[in-house]
Structure 1
Amino acid sequence: MTTAPSDIPARAWAMLILLALVWGTSFLAIRTALDEIAPLTSVLYRVAPAALALWLYVAGRRLPVPRSPRVWGAFLVMGVLNNAVPFSLMAWGQLHITTGLTSILNATTAIWGVLVAALVFSDERLSTRKALGVATGFAGVATAIGWQALADLDAQSLAQAAVILGTLSYAVAGAAGRAWLSDLRPEVAAAGMLTGATIVMAPLAILIEGAPPISLAPDTWLAVGYYALIATACAYLLYWRILALAGAGTLLLVTLLIPPVAITLGATVRGETLDPNAWSGFGLLALGLAILDGRLFRRRPARAV
């Protein structure tokens, strides 16, 4: 059952807004780090410290650590799908498009998630309402990108395609995680996934971009520390608390709260501007997400006089 907005606890609202601020700011932090380090290295610097931080949390809470080779194999695959692939695609994409547009396209994750779940799980039927929401959401994405850009193959259009492919990878990872890791504590699953991503990204980054640089500007280290420890490790913990407190439907709202944060910071700190199409596309995408959520269109029971 989906919680109505007025029924969401004040504490959940506060955590939801905090999560949107944390994740919205991560787009600026990643773009700042990319001024000095290459995309794959930026991902390695994200997943490795976050994995370490979460394993320390797991140890501190004395949570059981799985030993099954099957589970660790799932961690490796999930690390690729949920971290290595989308983080790498989006980091490269941010070299060519603004942080605000990246955050808008990132919201496509929820749209893909509905389609992937409908294909994989028998209890996730694609209803008429969901189909309308998906269609509206994708119309918003096309509008944000620009219909002409869909036919171009320049760096900007390829960067936008990379971000969208990253969101598809997130959606596939979500379905795989439900199928493979649903019996694990989420903290353990996240630590395992990030470990799998680190195992993949370390040799890949070194092979393609060389040894990770150590001598970096303070602003770069600050950005890396933020997106690794705050926007990844701590954000996972905050995400699960909101999920337990208010449910999965409420978490969809964070998708709508992230772009305004990223757009504002991109404009303020980096002087970025968004094409009017991006704003129109975000409006359509937000409408599509609202249709998927469904609660805005649900009749509220009449109050007794």
Structure 2
Amino acid sequence: MTQAPALTFRALSEMLLLAAIWGASFLSIKLALDELPVLTLVAHRVVWATLILWAYVLIRGLPVPRAPRVWGALIVMGLLNNAIPFALMAWGQQYIETGLTSIFNAGTAVFGVLVAAAVFADERLTTRRLAGVLIAFAGVAVAIGLEALAQFDIRSAAQLAVLLGALSYAVAAAWARKHLSGLPPQIAAMGMLTGSSLILLPLAYVVDGGITLPHTTQGIGAVAYFAVLGTALAYLLYYRVLAVAGSGNAMLVTLMIPPVAITLGWLVLDERLAPSVFVGFGLLAVGLLLLNPPAALVRALGRPRAADPSS
């Protein structure tokens, strides 16, 4: 067994930067929703990010795949990892707080464990992982609130939509492992965004009656932020963090995002979350740490850990 990568100061700094970028993305999406329909917003997000990543790939001279089978897998990845979750979460954000959306988004890691256990023979659900799943789901239930569980309204539907988006992310991760494991991560990101652009452009045009642009400086800035920084550059930074810190440490980014989103939602939008939401996030954090403990925690517990194949 090889030791997991150490969490260096540089890696931690890049993780904090990534969490800040993604945490602020939830605010930028909320602001853009004041001016754009959901599908048009998501189309802007993936199309501009696609152009940036194509430029990156061409400038770096990275090999672009040519096989139809690979592009078919990339289009499915674009559907599962971009089109479906981006649209569901953006729709949900119309009716729930920015910070709450980011907390439910963190449930991706929980769903990921369950999907992987169902699909891959080497991802069995151990006692520790089962405990982590149960604690994390308890946290989600507490964050949703008893009143939302008792009666189904538009807010309940929005929370369900965000959780379904997180589930789609988890299915996408399994799809990527099964069909895209041989591709360089930058090519995979470019390819899946290309696929989601091919899906969302015509869909937004038909459903929204055309592709419109934001009409204020705030709206233009919000779109530019979540497309350029929150999607294109964030993907490149994420793969760098994954390579340097390993997946166990990189998972900590998931827990760093909600505090950023909650704080920005409070400062900019005057959003207020119920105390139960913070309790739920605490339980979710405990569950996630049980599911995928970072290297420092593993060493503290004195247990060796095999290197993650994706790191």
Asked whether 1:278 is paired with 2:277, we answer yes
Asked whether 1:71 is paired with 2:70, we answer yes
Contact 1:2 1:249 in 2 (8 A): no
In the alignment, what sits opposite 2:41? 42
Q: Deviations over 1:54-92 (max 9, x none)?
A: 010000110001111111111111111000000000000
Asked whether 1:288 is paired with 2:287, we answer yes
Q: Which amino acid aligns with 1:259?
A: P
In the alignment, what sits opposite 1:218? 217
Give the deviation of 1:297 after TM superposition: 6.3
The within-5 A match list for 1:87-98 is: 87-98=86-97
| C-alpha separation in 1, matches of 2:226 and 2:244 | 25
| C-alpha separation in 1, matches of 2:153 and 2:76 | 31
Q: Deviations over 1:91-113 (max 9, x none)?
A: 00000000000001100000001
In the alignment, what sits opposite 1:18? 17
Secondary structure at the residue paired with 1:67?
coil
In the alignment, what sits opposite 2:245? 246
The within-5 A match list for 1:74-153 is: 74-153=73-152
In the alignment, what sits opposite 2:263? 264
RMSD between aligned residues: 1.3
* Further displaced range: 212-221 or 188-197: 212-221
Q: Which amino acid aligns with 1:57?
A: Y
| C-alpha separation in 2, matches of 1:87 and 1:212 | 17
Contact 2:132 2:287 in 1 (8 A): yes
| C-alpha separation in 1, matches of 2:175 and 2:150 | 32
Contact 2:36 2:214 in 1 (8 A): no
Deviating 4+ runs (over 3 angstroms): 1-4, 294-301
| C-alpha separation in 1, matches of 2:299 and 2:147 | 37
Secondary structure at the residue paired with 1:247?
helix
Give the deviation of 1:298 after TM superposition: 5.6
In the alignment, what sits opposite 1:54? 53
Contact 1:2 1:250 in 2 (8 A): no
Q: Which amino acid aligns with 2:98?
A: T
| C-alpha separation in 2, matches of 1:209 and 1:100 | 27
Q: Deviations over 1:125-179 (max 9, x none)?
A: 1110000000100000000001331232211000000000000000000000011
In structure 2, relative to structure 1, the CA distance for the partners of 1:223 and 1:298 (3 Å cut) is same
Q: Deviations over 1:19-65 (max 9, x none)?
A: 00000000000000001101111000000000110010000110001
Scaled by the length of structure 1, what TM-score is found?
Answer: 0.95
Give the deviation of 1:208 after TM superposition: 1.0
Contact 1:2 1:247 in 2 (8 A): no
Contact 2:73 2:179 in 1 (8 A): yes
In the alignment, what sits opposite 2:305? none
| C-alpha separation in 1, matches of 2:147 and 2:93 | 20
Q: Deviations over 1:170-209 (max 9, x none)?
A: 0000000011111011111111101110111111111111
Give the deviation of 1:225 after TM superposition: 0.5
| C-alpha separation in 1, matches of 2:191 and 2:142 | 37
* Further displaced range: 211-220 or 64-73: 211-220
Give the deviation of 1:293 after TM superposition: 2.1
Contact 2:129 2:290 in 1 (8 A): yes
Q: Which amino acid aligns with 2:286?
A: L
* Further displaced range: 215-224 or 277-286: 215-224
Give the deviation of 1:276 after TM superposition: 1.1
The within-5 A match list for 1:151-162 is: 151-162=150-161
| C-alpha separation in 2, matches of 1:8 and 1:68 | 38
Scaled by the length of structure 2, what TM-score is found?
Answer: 0.93
Q: Which amino acid aligns with 1:150?
A: L
Aligned residues: 299
Secondary structure at the residue paired with 2:264?
helix
| C-alpha separation in 1, matches of 2:3 and 2:146 | 34
In the alignment, what sits opposite 1:194? 193
In the alignment, what sits opposite 1:175? 174
Unaligned segments of structure 1, at least 5 residues? none
Contact 2:18 2:253 in 1 (8 A): yes
